[in-house]
Amino acid sequence: MILPFIQTSARAEPAARAPLHAMLPLLLSAVSILAAAAASTHHPHPFDPLSPAELTAVRDAVLASPLVPARPLTFHYVGLDEPDKPDVLSYAYGNSASSSRAALPRRAFVIARAGGQSHELRVDVTDAAAPSVLAHAVHRGAGFPTLTLDEQFAAVALPPAHPPFVESVRRRGVDMADVLCAVFPVGWFGGDPPAEERRVVKLLCFVAGATANFYARPLEGVTLVVDLDRMAIVGYRDRVLLPVPKAEGTDYRTGKAGPPYAGRAPAPGTVVQPEGRGFDIDGHFVRWANWEFHVGFDVRAGTVISLASIHDAEAGARRRVLYRGFVSEVFVPYMDPVEEWYYRTFLDAGEYGLGLWAFPLQPGADCPANAAYLDGYYAGQDGKPVENKNMICVFERYAGDVAWRHTEAGFPDRLITEVRPDVSLVVRMVVSCGNYDYILDWEFKTSGSIKFTVSLTGLLEVKGTAYTHADQITEDAHGTLVAENTLAVYHDHYVTYHLDLDVDGTNNSFVKNTIATKRNEGGTPRRSYWTVRREVAETEADAQVDVNAAPADLLVVNPNKRTRMGNEVGYRVVPGGATAASVLDDDDFPQRRASYCKKQVRVTPYSKAEKWAPGLYADQSTGDDGLATWSKRDRGVRNEDIVLWYTVGIHHIPYQDDFPVMPTVSGGFELRPANFFERNPLLTTRPPGLDQPPLVNCSCTGDSR
C-alpha cells in the first residue's frame, strides 16, 4: 500500500523511545522471527547478485584451476551467470510455495587476464565451500575486457617518472605535485595489427592546484601511451604548447565556488511518512503498492531490475511485465578530430564499468530522507570482494503531480471535482564515470507505467586553447568557449537499455501504429483527418525505428492475450526528451563500434548471450560483435520471446551555464500500459483525506508570508 505522508519544511522530531529493558522481549521475539524466516529461505534467489562468500569462492576456484596456470592473473569481470530463463520462470511463478522451491544452481561468469590473454570461465558456487570451474575458453577475437581500478591507478602513477613528461610539465610552468592523469581508451581506427595485439590506453594529464576541478585545466597537447600488460609507457608526444587554464572560477565545492547564492534560497524541506515507508525490501525483492520486482547489481551494468510484475486488482492476479532490464551501454563520442581528441569515443559500461563507478549516495541530497539503501559487492582486480555502501536507493516520490482528475461543470446545480495525487516509487543509482555523473532512475507508477530517466550532470570535458574571447574564433573550434583558454567540446550521450519485456507472458510481438493522413471523401466539409496504419514486425529489420522519422505509437503486445473488448494486451513505448540518433558517417570507426545508435528502437529475439550492445569486449572493439551485428541476422520477432533495446540520445552543445559544473539535464522514455488493463487501474483509488492525513506544509520560521 501507499502510506500517508506529510511534506514539511521543519525537521521531524524523533518519536519518544521506550526504555531498552521494556523493548527487550519485543527485540528477542523479532530475532526469533527473523531467524525462522532465514531458516526457511536459506538459499538465494536465482537473480541475487553474487555474495561476498560466493565472490571469494569464485576467486579460489579460478586461482586453483590448472586451466589458467599463467601468473599474474587479474579479474576484470565477475558477474552472475544467470540460470536459463525457463528455469527462472518456473522458480518465480511456479505453483509451489517459495519456501519449498528447489534452489537453482549458482554460477559465475568470469573474464580474467593472464599470460597476455583474456580467459572466460564459468564457475559453479552452489556450494561455496566447494566451488568448481565448469568451463574455460580463451577469447580469440577483437577487443579487451573492462579496465580495472587497480591497473588504472598503476598507469597514472607512471608519468612523473618519465623524463619527457617531466620536461613538458616544466615547460608549462606547472608544479608536478599538482598534476593528475587519467586513463582514456584508444578506441579502434582501422585494425592496425599492433594495436589489436597490445592492450594499450592513452594517458591525458591535468592540473589541480587550487581547484578540485582538474578536468578544467588540461595539459593540452601532451599524450602518453601505456601498455597495460607490461605496465610501461610505450609512446609519448608533446604536440603543441597551449596555456593551462586558470584555476580561478573552476571549483564547485562548498565555500570554494564564490560568493553565496544571491537570490532568496528555497525553504528547507523534507518528506515525513508518519506510518513509515510504504514499501518493503525482502532481500533484493521490493514490494510497493501494486508492484513487485527484484533489484540486482552488476559491475558492468549497475542496477538490474528483474521479474517486475503488477497486481491487477480487477483480474485478481499478478501479471508479468519485465523479465530483466538494465543499461547495456553508454556511448559518448566527442567531436574534435585533432590528435589528442579523435579517439575520445567512450563506451562507459564496457570500458570502465557502470557499477564499478557507482559511489555511495549521499542521504538527503542524492536521495530524500524517506529513502532506503542497498549495498553492492564486486570482485576487485585480485578477485577479493569489495563492498560498495549505499549504492542504490529506493524511495517514494511525492512531487505534487496529479495521477488523474476531472472537474465537471455541466450540471447546473453542482460542481463535481475528483482528483487523485500521484505517488511513485524510484530506484536510483548515480554513476560518476570520470568527469560526468549519470543519475539513472527507474520510476514505477501505480498506473502500471515504468519511467526511465537519465539525468546528466558533473563536469564538462574541456580543451585547452589560446582563445580568450569568442570574437577570436574564426574557424570551427569544435566546441564552446566557456572560460579563458577553455573550450568545451561538442559531444553525444547515448544510453542504451536492454529490456526483456514479458508482457503478460513470454511470447510478444512488436507493433508500429503509424499515424497516416487521409483525405475526407465522405461528403462533409472536413477535408482531411488522420488514422492509424498498424504494422506488426515479422523480423528484426521491421523492428528498427527512428522515433523522429514519423509520428507513431510503438507497442509490445501479447498476441495470445486479449481484453474483454478483444484488444491485444500490451505496453506502449513512449519516447520522452532526448531522442537524438547518431549523425556520424556509417564508415567512421566509432560509428562502426556503436552502429546501433542510428536507431533509438531495436527488437531482437531473446538470447541469454546477447546482453551488451557493443559486444562482450568493448575496449578496442571493432563492431564485429554487438547489437547491430546480431540484428543483421534478421531473425523472426513475431509472437516470440523478444527484447526491446531503447537508446536515449543527447547531442550536447555546451554553454557557459554548464561550467564549471553542469546543472542537471534529463531525458528518457516510458513503458505505459496499452490495453493491458480492462480500465484505468487507478479508478478505485481513494482520494486524500479519507484514509490519510492531509498534506501539511509547515514553516519553521513562523513567517506567514
Q: Please calculate the CA angle 302-620-224 and round it to the nearest 5 degrees.
A: 100
Residues 6+ apart with CB under 8 A from 651: 490, 492, 580, 583
Q: What is the dihedral of CA 362, 363, 368, 373, to 10 degrees?
A: 100
Residue burial 53-75, b: 16+ Cβ < 10 Å; e: rest: ebbbbbbbbbeebeebeeeebbb
CA pair distance 66, 58, nearest whole angstrom: 14
Quick check: 574 and 474 in contact, CB under 8 A? no
CA pair distance 17, 178, nearest whole angstrom: 51
Instruction: Tell me the three cell numbers of residue 366.
Output: 542524492
Q: Please calculate the CA angle 430-213-238 and round it to the nearest 5 degrees.
A: 115
Quick check: 653 and 488 in contact, CB under 8 A? no
488 bridge partner residues: 462, 480
Residues 6+ apart with CB under 8 A from 283: 41, 44, 45, 48
Quick check: 358 and 376 in contact, CB under 8 A? yes
Quick check: 377 and 388 in contact, CB under 8 A? yes
Write out the E strands in 563-612.
568-575, 601-605
Count CA atoms closer than 13 A to 377's CA, side-chain side.
Answer: 13
Enumerate the active-site residues. 348, 436
